[in-house]
Structure 1
Amino acid sequence: MRTRDEDGQWSDWVPLEVSQEQPDPGTADAAHGARGGTDALWVGQSDAVQLAFTASDAVPADDVRLALVSSDLTSSSAPVGGAALGGAAVVTNASFRTASPALAAPRVISRAEWGAAGQVCAPDVASTLVGAVVHHTAGTNNYGSVAEAMQQIRNDQAYHINTRGWCDLGYNFVVDKWGNIYEGRANSLTQAVIGVHAGGFNTATVGVSMLGDFSTLTPSDAMRESVARIIGYRLGMYGRNPAGTMSYTTGGGENSRFAAGTTVGLPVVFGHRDTAYTACPGNAGYAQLQWIRDRARAIAFSEPLVRALYHDMLNRGPDPSGLATWSSLIMSGQPASALGDGIARSREYVERKVTEAYAQILGRAPDPAGFEVQVQAIMNGVFRVEDLRGQLIASAEYYARAGGNDRAYVQRLYQDILGRQATPGEVEWWIGAIGRSGLAIAPYGVWRSRESAELRIHETYRTFLDRTADPTGLATWAPYWMANGDDALRAVIIRSDEYLARSLSFG
């Protein structure tokens, strides 16, 4: 295709790609859809167009149509071209998800603001969101104002409705080069509205398109930040980790790379090209996906993670200063495990843990002088709370409280560390080991045993996941705890998708 401008000059010939955006089979858009087509192409101020194509007996050129779409630059009325658009937006009676109080919605330009036409049929709504698909519109990057960006979106909506026969604009959201976010399909900010943006993968995904062509041009910092913000916000509402992976069983479709019923392993945030025969979102756009995933994860879970860790480790909510400081650090890329380590070295946490250790092991409060030395040592990373517990269990005071002899000592170790009585055979084995290697062998051996490891894992799961560990978790993490200890296990747990999802309950 080529176009002629107002000065009578013809443009270069531009190849038109067949659109890879197709409705999922069985949806309202598929039932209402009229025909296939190419991607829309923005041509600016043009007064003529020419098309060139090859036809043969095998591939006749029957029913080729040219869809011309335009709208006033500042008008909020429906674009012209094809069948008239009109009527109020149709809202389905489907599931509705309200945002967690901990998730702040980004500024989104409403459909009324950009002049959307009403839907012509009611799109289907999924019960959840499991992922996000990043696109580019593949049109011009030369729009010079928000008004021109809105004009492009109105024209794309007209093309999708009038020519392609869909219910509405195919994308759930569109982002311009200045970082403005536009609501595409109605209700996409609050419902899992099924769009038409990645055939076979539309259901339960949110389609976010960058306005422009990013084959070679890198999206602006403002654009990619806003793409990450809307993805983080929408997936965070459903407890999905944007930096995670998923298995998706596709419904198939005309342009899908996978047959219907195929289960595909994908990142939770993926590019259109990952599932269709297309270059979308362009090489330069695709190169930004990992940054978008990581940023969306930080945005979705920054405040919830801070609130959850304060609750789980300090038994209270964060103060405003702590919430602001740590949320900013997590949003800037600091891992949540750094906050866990920070709390674990705080005076408030260490004092409580030292006091608990003395009460549980020696049945008394720590003496003031020793207390301050131990608190400072743990805060400075000289040793850990679990190391202090080991020191107390190996102390002469503990040995005396246990009964002052090896047999009573071993029995007390089993009771305090493993929560059960030692068998006669276990007692005799450890008495022999003490005779050969010294008293310290027993507390260390019992504490670092597989049985102790499994109990510590259950404790960590209860603290951070509100449940006990499953057999797979025990098998995986018991050797890890035995080699690395409590702090390392905590860091792993709070990086998990399960902990991320649970954190959203702390509003």
Structure 2
Amino acid sequence: MRISPRALRGRPPVVLLAVLTAALTLPSIPAGARAGGGVPVTRPGSAGPTGGGSVTSLPLTGGRLPAGRTAQRFDLLGVGWDGPARALAGGTVRVRTRDAATGVWSGWHELETDGEDGPDGADAGADATGTAAGRAPRGATAPLWTGPSDGVAVEVTPGPAGPPPGLRVELVDPGEGVRPAGPRTVPAEPSAAEPSAAEPSATEPADGGRRTGHHQAPRPEIVTRAGWGADESIREPDFQYTGPVRAVFVHHTATTTEYACSDAPRLIRAIYQYHVQSNGWRDIGYNFLVDRCGTVYEGRAGGTDLPVHGAHTLGFNTDTAGVAAIGTFVTDVPPADLLTGVARIAAWKLGLTDQDAAGSTRLVSGSDGSLYPAGTGAVLRAVSGHRDAFNTECPGDALYPKLPELRAEAARLQGR
């Protein structure tokens, strides 16, 4: 995923059809407000003992929102709409935000309007199943991590197709996290054959995804979803699985690189809420995330040692896993500990099916939106970057050249 942080350097917006603008301090949320009705709507998480966070939608109906009203603060935002994910293709979305502590406004940031990651197949809710109530087809920009903020300005320049219906800015408050109801970590152990901590599912693969090979790397310690405070009430309750994992795609979240590692769970909760409540996906898109200190976090639910079907690399979510490095690594050099964490989780995950982390594999594209038309076979490295399958800068120009080192280290951990 690319959560674009690029500030535009003073250039005025280019008007293709119309420019929709909104400059505001956040409005209060009236009870009973409905989405798309021209008034703010909040979608809370569960009322957990320590708070599950919320997503607030501010409609861009009529091109403007009133200023001067107040509401809860937010840490992440994006712009969403009703209809296909690519409805804003060719358009631009710019945002700027106000720091809640200082009142200082940021420069303009441009959000990515083309869906870089997400479920394969038709544009639909609940990872293209279209079966979940309240998850009709909708699209959204890549999100932007803002940190604690209390004001926002938005400019939308539609693409050739015109403005999609239901344009809205989505403001995410990650909350304090739901108090853990299960283990906070999966301990680091060399064995990959022990049972998964996930609940059994009718759709679990017959082999459990645990074909232990000769070159099995040790499992790193993994912070569970309970450990980062996931609100399990907002995701789809069942799990989806794919075939044996034969490749790992490395991403960056493009959030700040200067965060304290203790704040990583808050950032993950915000991404999770945006993926589910704004994008309409069944769960967070990534299978794993790694912070700057090298800590590995469980992403999509279903069992860390099982081949959980993710929504991380459009066209290539089948038989793969997505690992997101938390930070922006376009020019910022990824910390050594982060690289070690990515190598460890990639080595372990690929080793479960005896896939050589330094080798290659053949995958079949599931989407015309990728670099390869749907149904086309592609030979990709077992540890690939997001840009190897999609036209994107992800995982950043500073992280992507590190992939050969990651492959070598992961292969070493596998005993190759």
Please, what TM-score do these two structures have when normalized by structure 2?
0.65
Seen in structure 2, the aligned counterparts of structure 1 residues 90 and 50 have a Cα distance that, compared at 3 Å, is farther
Seen in structure 2, the aligned counterparts of structure 1 residues 61 and 261 have a Cα distance that, compared at 3 Å, is closer
Match in the other structure for 2:117: 21
Is the counterpart of residue 144 in structure 1 residue 260 in structure 2? yes
Is the counterpart of residue 12 in structure 1 residue 107 in structure 2? yes
What is the SS of the residue equivalent to 2:324?
strand
Match in the other structure for 1:31: 129
Question: Matched residues in 1 for 2:371 and 2:116: separation?
Answer: 10
Seen in structure 2, the aligned counterparts of structure 1 residues 243 and 58 have a Cα distance that, compared at 3 Å, is closer
Equivalent residues of 1:77, 1:117 under 8 A apart:
no
Equivalent residues of 2:239, 2:301 under 8 A apart:
no
Seen in structure 2, the aligned counterparts of structure 1 residues 233 and 77 have a Cα distance that, compared at 3 Å, is closer
Match in the other structure for 2:34: none
* Deviation digits for residues 114-136 of structure 1 (CA, Å, limit 9, x no counterpart): 11122325342013111110000
Which range moved further: 19-28 or 34-43? Answer: 19-28
Equivalent residues of 2:218, 2:413 under 8 A apart:
no
Match in the other structure for 1:97: 209
Question: Matched residues in 2 for 1:137 and 1:123: separation?
Answer: 24
Question: Matched residues in 2 for 1:243 and 1:283: separation?
Answer: 21
How big is the shift at 1:58? 4.8
Query: Structure 1 vs Structure 2: percent identity of aligned residues?
Result: 37
Is the counterpart of residue 267 in structure 1 residue 381 in structure 2? yes
Q: Which amino acid aligns with 2:204?
A: A
Question: Matched residues in 1 for 2:202 and 2:244: separation?
Answer: 15
Is the counterpart of residue 230 in structure 1 residue 345 in structure 2? yes
Question: Matched residues in 1 for 2:323 and 2:306: separation?
Answer: 15
How big is the shift at 1:183? 0.3
What is the SS of the residue equivalent to 1:258?
coil
Q: Which amino acid aligns with 2:383?
A: V
Match of 1:45 among 148, 154, 177: 148
Match in the other structure for 1:455: none
How big is the shift at 1:250? 1.0
How big is the shift at 1:90? 8.5
How big is the shift at 1:55? 3.9
Q: Which runs of 5+ in 1 are unaligned?
A: 79-87, 303-335, 337-507
Match in the other structure for 2:296: 181
Question: Matched residues in 1 for 2:153 and 2:315: separation?
Answer: 33
Q: RMSD across aligned C-alpha pairs, in angstroms?
A: 2.4
Seen in structure 2, the aligned counterparts of structure 1 residues 252 and 44 have a Cα distance that, compared at 3 Å, is same
Map 1:189-268 onto structure 2 (within 5 A): 189-253=304-368, 255-268=369-382
Map 1:374-413 onto structure 2 (within 5 A): none
Is the counterpart of residue 297 in structure 1 residue 407 in structure 2? no
Question: Matched residues in 2 for 1:5 and 1:132: separation?
Answer: 36
Question: Matched residues in 1 for 2:322 and 2:159: separation?
Answer: 37
* Deviation digits for residues 78-114 of structure 1 (CA, Å, limit 9, x no counterpart): 9xxxxxxxxx988453121345696421100011111
Match in the other structure for 1:107: 221
Seen in structure 2, the aligned counterparts of structure 1 residues 142 and 92 have a Cα distance that, compared at 3 Å, is farther
What is the SS of the residue equivalent to 2:170?
coil
Map 1:490-501 onto structure 2 (within 5 A): none
Please, what TM-score do these two structures have when normalized by structure 1?
0.54
What is the SS of the residue equivalent to 1:203?
coil
Q: Over alpha carbons, which structure has the higher Rg?
A: 1
Question: Matched residues in 2 for 1:100 and 1:113: separation?
Answer: 29
What is the SS of the residue equivalent to 2:104?
coil
Seen in structure 2, the aligned counterparts of structure 1 residues 153 and 245 have a Cα distance that, compared at 3 Å, is same
Match in the other structure for 1:473: none
